[in-house]
Amino acid sequence: MKEVISVANPNFALIKYWGKADSINNIPDMSSISMTIDTLKSLTKITLNKSIKDDVWLLNGMKQKELGQLQPTIDYLRSFSNGNQSMLIESENNFPTAAGLASSASGIASIVLAINNILDLKLSSEEKIKAAILGSGSAPRSLFPGFVHLDNSKEINCHTILEPKEWPLKIIICLTSIEEKMISSRKGMKISKLTSPYYPTWVNEQDEDIKKALKAIKNKDFLSLASVSEFNCNKMHRVMETSNPPLIYTNEVTQNCIKQIDEIKMSGIDIFYTIDAGPQVKIICKPDDTDTVISKMKLVPNIHSIIEAGLGEGARIINES
């Protein structure tokens, strides 16, 4: 029985995507820029299995009732294959799933790579990007290492801006809750596009933020990247919060983390934060400041745990037989 194992790491957006242009093909309404991180990972094992009739997906050991958001990705990938043998897909995350830590991005990126390999599809980079985006709008970014630009200004394109070793910043993840989010990103984006009065401005201003972040990353200009990243993150949360019903993904501990980050900044340490559709706070800092930042964040009451990460590799095959 042929078996392939792949790994992909989550990515955290600095310039975020929130809203779709086309919900059938799952195309984002805007470009985005992210950091692929290390430490957290999704591992996928795929086995071609003659004894099962349909594809089966196990997530963290639990058989899923249906393929859900994986279905369009799998259908697209199968369209390149002559065979129709069923696949047993086993995915494991070494971190909480659906809690705002981009588990769908890393999970889908690892699955795209593993299917490409096991069905011997030899897909181009563009085809892998398309397959990943069908499952999750942020998943193509986890195919690539380091700082990544998902550019949809013309054709969808995704590429690394800087490799991890070119600007080895640190990411400190403050887990404030490990519960799954109440409203999925997919559902939340639909609600925001339909109801937030700030949605059009959010979309119109994105290119400006992308330009500033690209320049900051290429120049390794930490303070400019900090300023545009926090601005963009806060605008996304304003869009979420002004949706009807309001989408509040943060909690009290998230807010207390932000206060502590402001104190750390005032003490002269350069750091910034970003927060996605979940209450976790991701802090970006320079390597030399990591220990100080962690010890200061430990003072915030009720943080569940703190995880230290660096910039990570793109999705990869780790074993095939």
Residue 267 beta carbon to ligand PMV: minimum distance, rounded to whole angstroms: 29
CB of 71 to ligand PMV, least distance (A): 15
Residue 290: CB minimum distance to ligand PMV, A: 23
Whole-number minimum distance, CB 181 to ligand PMV, in Å?
Answer: 10
Residue 141 CB, shortest distance to ligand PMV, in Å, is 8
- Name the minimum Å distance from CB 149 to ligand PMV: 12
In the complex, least distance from residue 291 CB atom to ligand PMV, rounded to whole angstroms: 28
Give the nearer residue to ligand PMV in terms of CB position, either 105 or 293.
105
Least distance to ligand PMV from the beta carbon of 136, Å? Answer: 4
For the chain, the maximum distance between any two Cα atoms, rounded to a whole number of angstroms, is 62
Count CA atoms closer than 13 A to 66's CA, side-chain side. 4
* List 31, 44, 104, 290, residue binding ligand PMV (CB under 6 A): 104
CA distances from 193 to 21, 29, 246 (A): 10, 10, 12
Cα separation of 167 and 236, whole Å? 26
Q: Which amino acid is at 80?
A: F
Binding segment for ligand PMV among 56-64, 130-138, 259-267, 297-305 (CB under 6 A)? 130-138
- Rounded to whole angstroms, the Cα distance separating 180 from 147 reads 27
The two tokens of residue 162 are 């800087």
Q: Is 133 helix (H, G, I), strand (E, B) or coil?
A: helix
Of the candidates 10, 96, 107, 137, which one interacts with ligand PMV according to CB under 6 A? Answer: 137
Q: Which is nearer to ligand PMV, 5 or 247 (CB)?
A: 247
Category of 31 on φ-ψ map: left (φ > 0), alpha (ψ -120 to 50) or beta: beta
Query: Site size for ligand PMV, by CB under 6 A?
Result: 14
56 with 168: CB under 8 angstroms? Answer: no
Take residue 138 and report the two structure tokens written for it: 């942020």
The whole-angstrom separation of Cα 131 and Cα 145 is 18
Cross-strand pairs, 126 = none
Cβ neighbors of 39 (< 8 A, separation 6 or more) are 9, 307, 308, 309, 310, 312
Least distance to ligand PMV from the beta carbon of 29, Å?
11
Helix H or strand E segment including 320: strand 316-320
Site string for ligand PMV, 15-34 (x = CB under 6 A): -xxx-------------x--
Site for ligand PMV in 265-294 (CB under 6 A): 276-277
Q: Are strands 56-59 and 20-22 parallel, antiparallel or unpaired?
A: unpaired
Site track for ligand PMV across 67-86, x = CB under 6 A: --------------------
Pick 5 or 134: Cβ nearer ligand PMV: 134
Nearer to ligand PMV, 17 or 144 (CB): 17
Q: Which helix (H) or strand (E) holds 129?
A: helix 125-135
Interacting stretch for ligand PMV, rule CB under 6 A, among 13-21, 151-159, 222-230, 296-304? 13-21
Does 105 contact ligand PMV by CB under 6 A? yes
Cα-Cα-Cα-Cα torsion 143, 139, 240, 40, nearest 10 degrees, comes to -60
Q: Contact with ligand PMV (CB under 6 A): which of 93, 138, 260, 280?
A: 138
Site residues (CB under 6 A) for ligand PMV? Answer: 13, 16-18, 32, 104-105, 136-138, 185-186, 276-277
